[in-house]
């Protein structure tokens, strides 16, 4: 309790709600993750720019996109070690997250990088996607680990 009668009053509250979120035109990306443990990108038919995570349309030229299967491997472009996380992930800290440029893509994907020794991580290292057994259609269905 504060001694300031004019301070903002804070009271505990819980919200519980369920909703269905649509991935719209990028739904295939998550279906492939769930059903086939495979990462996809989409490539613009006009400018050939290749996006992963995928987009609903080409942000560069508004051209149509086609789906392209990826090999699930890429290169660490940047990363950081998280020591203080949100309540959902705090028990997992410290952990690494970073931008991974997947083979065949022009963009980088922000994702968790799991390693036994976080001090070994370096920009430029090769990584591969590893999929959870119980996939739910979220970005938490997979992470990256150092490739052999």
Binding site for Zn ion (CB under 5 A): 44, 46-47, 58, 60-61, 63
Minimum CB distance to Zn ion, residue 58 (Å): 3
The residue (of 36 and 46) whose beta carbon lies closer to Zn ion is 46
> Nearest CA to 103 among 73, 68, 76?
73
- Indicate the pairing of strand 95-102 with strand 73-82: antiparallel
Q: Which of 31, 63, 59, 29 lies closest to 44, judged by CA? A: 63
Question: Smaller CB distance to Zn ion: residue 27 or 46?
Answer: 46
Closer CB to Zn ion, 65 or 125, in the complex: 65
40 close to 95: Cβ distance less than 8 angstroms: no
Q: In the complex, what is the shortest distance from the CB of residue 56 to Zn ion, in angstroms, rounded to a whole number?
A: 12
- Residue 82 CB, shortest distance to Zn ion, in Å, is 34
Contact 95, 82 (CB under 8 A): yes
Q: How far is the CB of 52 from Zn ion (least distance, A)?
A: 14
Query: Looking at beta carbons only, is 47 or 147 nearer to Zn ion?
Result: 47
CA distances 10 to 1, 5, 6, 13, 16, Å, are: 10, 12, 12, 9, 19
């Amino acid at each position: 309790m504060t001694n300031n009668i004019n301070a903002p009053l804070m009271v505990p509250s819980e919200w519980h709600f369920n909703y269905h979120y649509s991935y719209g035109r990028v739904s295939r990306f998550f279906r492939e993750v769930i059903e086939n443990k495979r990462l996809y990108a989409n490539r613009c038919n006009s400018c050939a720019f290749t996006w992963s995570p995928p987009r609903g349309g080409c942000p560069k030229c508004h051209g149509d996109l086609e789906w392209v299967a990826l090999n699930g491997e890429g290169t660490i472009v940047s990363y950081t070690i998280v020591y203080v996380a949100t309540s959902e992930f705090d028990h997992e800290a410290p952990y690494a997250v970073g931008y991974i440029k997947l083979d065949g893509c022009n963009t980088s994907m922000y994702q968790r990088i799991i390693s036994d020794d976080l001090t070994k991580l370096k920009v430029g290292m090769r990584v591969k996607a590893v999929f959870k057994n119980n996939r739910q259609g979220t970005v938490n269905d997979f992470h990256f680990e150092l490739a052999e």
